[in-house]
Amino acid sequence: MRVLLSVVASLLLLAGAHATALTTILKAGEKACYYADVDGAGEKVGFYFAIQSGGNFEIDWVVMDPEDRIIIEGDNERQGDYIFTAKQIGEYSFCFANEAAGTDKLIDFDIMVESEPRHVLSASQAPLKDHTSALEESTYKINGLLSSIQRLQKYFHTRHHRNYSTVLSTQSRLFWFTILECVAVVAMSLAQIWILKTFFSRSGSRRFRV
């Protein structure tokens, strides 16, 4: 039983992926790059990003291999979720550009480098092969379901931030519109008072001969 539990723990560790979850603010006119190391050719690399606030929630981005060749890129995108196979060992770059926009952007993104090694059983663990194979497949299924839940949570997190940003923007517009409306009403009232005062002043200055 102890051996079986150790195998399950090993599978859970192997099913995981090395991931980096970050949140950053990209100033207007700036460009920022982040890097991830790939230790073996054929590893899967996942890249997720979402603009939480700023402007129209759009950003330019590009992913390049260790030789600075473009793998994938996009212009004026709000979010993306991509997976590609790394063909080379080395440092991959993930860059965001906010050069054309006039507002700061709040960006959430994940960089995941994932390999899927299979657990090799020793001779003493050979009788457990059938059980571990089933456990291994179940572990990978659970890992896939957890990844789906995480991505769904990220989607709702992004929607929350965007809706909150929209609410703040709407409140700000309503506030300034109300101020402008009050100023207009006061100005119209003063203008009416001045017109009436001028009218009666001119009327009172007239002379009539009887």
Per-residue model confidence as pLDDT tens digits over 117-127? 444 445 555 55
Question: Which residue spans within the chain are E strands per DSSP?
Answer: 18-26, 31-38, 44-53, 59-64, 70-77, 79-85, 90-97, 105-114
The number of domains in the chain is 1
Query: Environment class of residue 209 by beta-carbon count within 10 Å: exposed (0-12), middle (13-18) or buried (19+)?
Result: exposed
- Angstrom distance (rounded) from CA 54 to CA 103: 6
Q: Of how many residues is the chain composed?
A: 210
CATH value at residue 46: 2.60.120.680
Flag whether 171 is in a domain. Answer: no
**Cα dihedral sign, 72-87-81-92:** negative
Domain that holds residue 104: 11-163
Flag whether 208 is in a domain. Answer: no
Flag whether 195 is in a domain. Answer: no
**Cα dihedral sign, 122-123-127-130:** positive
* Residue 207 phi, psi dihedral angles, 5° rounding: -120, 140
* Residue 189 phi, psi dihedral angles, 5° rounding: -65, -45
* 3-class DSSP assignment, residue 86: coil
Mean of the per-residue pLDDT values of the chain: 77
The pLDDT score that the predictor gives to residue 184 is 92
Flag whether 142 is in a domain. Answer: yes
Range of weakest confidence among 68-77, 95-104, 161-170: 161-170
pTM > 0.85 = no
Flag whether 91 is in a domain. Answer: yes
Flag whether 134 is in a domain. Answer: yes
Residue 94, phi-psi category: left (phi > 0), alpha (psi -120 to 50), beta (remainder): beta
Residue 93 predicted with pLDDT over 90? yes
**pLDDT (tens digit per residue) in 23-46:** 889 988 899 999 999 988 888 898
Residue 145: pLDDT band (50, 70, 90) is confident
Flag whether 169 is in a domain. Answer: no
89 contacts: CB under 8 Å, gap ≥ 6: 38, 39, 40, 41, 66
Flag whether 191 is in a domain. Answer: no
- Angstrom distance (rounded) from CA 97 to CA 115: 29
134 contacts: CB under 8 Å, gap ≥ 6: none
- Angstrom distance (rounded) from CA 167 to CA 176: 14
